[in-house]
Amino acid sequence: MARPIKKGLDYYPRDVDWIRQLPVRKIMRANGPASAAVLDCADGYIYGEQGYFMRYDEDARFLIADDVGVKELFVDEVVNKAVQVGYYDAGMFTGHNILTSEDIQKRYKSAASQKKDNSILAEYSLNQDESKPDNPVSKHGNPTQGVVNTGDNPQSKVKKSKVNKSKTNTTLSPSEEFGVEIWTAYPRSNRNGNYQQAQESYVQAIVTGETTKEQVLAKIDEYKAYIDLNHIQSGFIKSAGNWFTGHLWQSEWDTTTPARKPDNNADSNPAYQNTTDWGQGGKVEM
C-alpha cells in the first residue's frame, strides 16, 4: 500500500518583521503580548497539518491554549480579533470554520512546490489561479505528465469571472458580518457558548426580517450599559451563545440610573420627635 502523501510542511518561511505588521500589532494592542504566541502556535498547526488551513473547533482551541499556557477563552478572543483585522479570512472562518488566508495559501504553494500534491481545495481557495495543484496527482499517487491548460476552456473563463466579481464585492453576508462585527461586539468576558447556533439564529433573524444588524448592535450596546449601571459581575452576564439563540435583542434593558436605596442605618425615630409640649413650661425630653 502506498504511503499517503503528507500535505503539511516541515518548515515554513516567515517575514522577519512579522510581529510589526499592522494586523498583528492591532491584535496585540487589543489582546496583549501573549496573543502573538497564540497566532504563532495557530500558524504552526496550519502549516504543519494541512499546510494551508486548520479547522477551528473545540479540539483546536484546547491544543493552542495548552501549548501556549493560556485559557481557551483567550484563544477565542485572539482568533476573533485576527478575523476582524484580516489576519485570517472572515469568509472562510464564518462559512467553513477554518483559519486560512490568501497569504498563507501563497506561502504554502511556494514552500510545497516540490511536493507531489500541493493542491488547495477549490472551496477553500482564495487565489483564483491556485485552486488546481501545480503538481497534480493521479488516482495512483503518481504525478501526471503533459497536462496543459490552454486557458481557452469557456467554463474556466466563467469561473474566473465569478471569482473576480466576488473579490470586488466588499459586502459581507449575514454569516460573515456575524463573525466580524456582531460576535466581537458582545462583552468579551462572556463571549462563549455555541457559536454555530448563535450564528444560525442571527442569520435567520436577518433573512426573515425579524431584525437588522444595526438593531442588534444597538441592543448589545444597551445590554452593556445595563451591565455597567447595575454593576453586574461577569458570572451573571449572559453568555453570548445564550444571548443570540434566545433572540435577546428583542428584550428591553433598563438603562436608567437605579434609584438610590434608603439608608437603613438612619434613625427612623429622631430625638427631636421624642418630646412633650408642656405649654409655656417648655419641652421636656421623654
Q: What is the pLDDT of residues 195-207, one digit of tens each?
A: 778 888 888 888 8
Specify whether the CB–CB gap between 254 and 232 falls below 8 A.
Answer: no
Where would I find the beta strands (DSSP E) of the chain? 54-55, 98-99, 275-277, 283-285
Region of residue 106 (phi > 0: left; psi between -120 and 50: alpha; otherwise: beta):
alpha
Average pLDDT over residues 129-150: 47
Specify whether the CB–CB gap between 36 and 29 falls below 8 A.
Answer: no
In a 13 Å sphere around the CA of 153, the CA atoms on its Cβ side amount to: 8
Question: Alpha helix (H) ranges present in 87-212?
Answer: 90-96, 102-111, 154-168, 174-177, 195-207
**222-273, pLDDT tens digit by residue?**
888 888 888 888 778 888 888 888 899 898 888 887 666 666 665 555 554 5
pTM above 0.75, yes or no: no
pLDDT at position 131:
45
248 versus 162: the higher-pLDDT residue is: 248
59 versus 277: the higher-pLDDT residue is: 59
Name the amino acid, one letter, at 129. Answer: D
Instruction: Say whether pLDDT at 2 is over 60.
Output: no
Degrees to nearest 5, angle at CA 119 with 113 and 125: 115
pLDDT at position 56:
93
Instruction: Say whether pLDDT at 147 is over 50.
Output: no
**61-107, pLDDT tens digit by residue?**
999 999 999 999 999 999 999 999 999 999 999 989 999 999 999 98
Average pLDDT over residues 135-142: 46
Degrees to nearest 5, angle at CA 262 with 259 and 268: 155
Average pLDDT over residues 159-173: 53
Reported confidence tier of residue 156, pLDDT bands at 50, 70, 90: very low
Instruction: Say whether pLDDT at 280 is over 60.
Output: no
Average pLDDT of every residue of the chain: 77
Q: Which of 113-117, 159-163, 164-168, 267-271 has the highest mean pLDDT?
A: 113-117
Instruction: Say whether pLDDT at 6 is over 80.
Output: no
Average pLDDT over residues 119-129: 83
Specify whether the CB–CB gap between 98 and 92 falls below 8 A.
Answer: yes
In a 13 Å sphere around the CA of 244, the CA atoms on its Cβ side amount to: 30
**21-36, pLDDT tens digit by residue?**
999 999 999 999 899 9
Helix (H) or strand (E) run with residue 225 in it: helix 213-229
pLDDT at position 268:
53
pLDDT at position 87:
94
